[in-house]
């Protein structure tokens, strides 16, 4: 294989001397991160070790700051986006970048989205699966998706602010159970809310193999069929029609699940995802895809070609 893409979180922290940093959410400890979360040199070395030629940078979701005052969130977004853009400029053959935007204020979000594309030359933005409990189908957010479609910006949706997390803190269940459900929440919201129907050119990718959505797509379709009075109130198109209309990553950790994902979503809409550098990620990026009994042409799609299609990058972008 010539290339492998992987996406990974990025945090702008000045702790290079210690090699690690503590991330805080409000006044509570959230996570300790190591230098591979912010040091491009460390990242490139680790990418070389795993045979990853190009990595797509996106900020760690805890840095979305949707809870903050809009002006403050905009300021933080600019700092993060400037940092990612600077890394991409410095190492253009190793990295592409996704920005972050203050979705709690759509007008400011659009302004920063435009800056990400026109001034920073980023490929798109990463957003959360909901905004302070508001689903992505909410009409207040449609203008952001519309702007992304007009700009040709890719959107990567990562689960965040997980529903029910306070009731299932034990056993790491928010990450193991909540995140897959949260991603399905986002997909269903965009399907039932008519976002994909109204914006057919919008390029959206969802994390973690689409979460629980692929495995429950039949149940979702059945709900639409038997209770259209509840499910089809904003969009009268069958949910099954949208399979293959959006991208998901390959991060499912299981050969049978990857086979199923290809059957449900399609081999053209699955791109290598790694969740690097976090422990729920694929610790040997691309290993699952490369271990599968797929033709080389299909492996190339999964390892890099589908990612380039979603990002809107040409084949010679990194040459």
Domains along the chain? 5-311 (3.20.20.140)
From CA 299, how far away is CA 290, in angstroms rounded? 7
- pLDDT score for 17: 46
* Token couple for 176: 């193991």
Q: In Å, how far from its chain's centre is CA 124?
A: 11
| CA–centroid distance for 222 within its chain | 27
Write the secondary structure of 195-213 as one string of H (helix), E (strand) and C (coil). HHHHCCCCEEEECHHHCCH
User: Count of alpha carbons within 13 Å of 259, Cβ hemisphere only?
Assistant: 7
Q: Are 101 and 113 in contact (CB under 8 A)?
A: yes
Reduced to 3 states (helix: H, G, I; strand: E, B; else coil), residue 307 is helix
Alpha helices in the chain (DSSP H): 40-50, 70-90, 106-118, 139-151, 173, 179-192, 195-198, 213-226, 228-231, 255-265, 287-291, 296-300, 306-311
Omega within 30 of 0 (cis) for the link into 277: yes
pLDDT for residue 19: 67
> Given this model, what pLDDT does residue 317 score?
67
State the 10-residue block means of pLDDT for the chain, 319 residues long.
51 50 68 81 89 93 94 97 97 96 98 98 98 97 98 98 92 96 98 98 98 98 98 97 97 98 98 92 93 97 97 77
Cα–Cα distance between 265 and 286 in angstroms, integer? 19
Q: What phi and psi values does residue 208 have, to the nearest 5 degrees? A: 55, 45
pLDDT of residue 26: 65
Secondary structure element (H or E) that encloses residue 134, with its range: strand 134-135
The DSSP output letter for 93 is: T
Q: How confident is the model at residue 84, as a pLDDT? A: 97
Query: What is the model's pLDDT at position 205?
Result: 98
What pLDDT sits at residue 314?
A: 77
Angle at alpha carbon of residue 262, lines to 259 and 263, rounded to 5°: 90
């Amino acid at each position: 294989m010539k290339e492998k893409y992987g996406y990974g979180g990025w945090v702008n922290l000045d702790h290079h001397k210690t090699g690690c940093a503590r991330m805080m959410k409000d006044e509570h400890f959230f996570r300790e991160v190591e230098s591979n979360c912010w040091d491009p040199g460390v990242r490139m070395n680790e990418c070389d070790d795993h045979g990853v030629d190009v990595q797509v940078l996106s900020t760690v979701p805890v840095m979305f700051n949707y809870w903050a005052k809009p002006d403050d969130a905009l300021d933080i977004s600019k700092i993060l986006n400037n940092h990612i853009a600077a890394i991409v400029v410095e190492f253009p053959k190793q990295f592409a970048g996704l920005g972050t935007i203050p979705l709690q204020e759509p007008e400011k979000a659009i302004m920063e989205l435009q800056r990400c594309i026109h001034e920073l030359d980023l490929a798109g933005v990463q957003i959360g699966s909901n905004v302070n409990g508001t689903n992505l189908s909410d009409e207040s957010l449609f203008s952001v998706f519309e702007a992304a479609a007009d700009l040709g910006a890719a959107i990567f949706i990562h689960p965040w602010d997980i529903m029910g997390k306070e009731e299932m803190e034990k056993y790491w269940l928010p990450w193991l159970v909540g995140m897959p459900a949260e991603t399905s929440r986002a997909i269903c919201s965009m399907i039932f809310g008519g976002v994909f129907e109204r914006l057919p050119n919008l390029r959206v990718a969802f994390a973690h193999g689409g979460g629980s959505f692929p495995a429950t797509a039949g149940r979702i379709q059945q709900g639409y069929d038997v209770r259209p009075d509840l499910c089809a109130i904003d969009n009268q198109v069958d949910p099954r029609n949208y399979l293959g209309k959006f991208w998901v990553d390959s991060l499912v950790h299981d050969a049978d699940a990857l086979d199923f994902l290809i059957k449900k979503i399609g081999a053209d809409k699955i791109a290598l995802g790694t969740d690097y550098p976090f422990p729920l990620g694929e610790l040997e990026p691309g290993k699952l895809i490369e271990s599968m009994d797929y033709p080389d042409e299909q492996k190339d799609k999964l390892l890099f070609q589908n990612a380039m299609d979603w990002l809107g990058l040409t084949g010679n972008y990194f040459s």
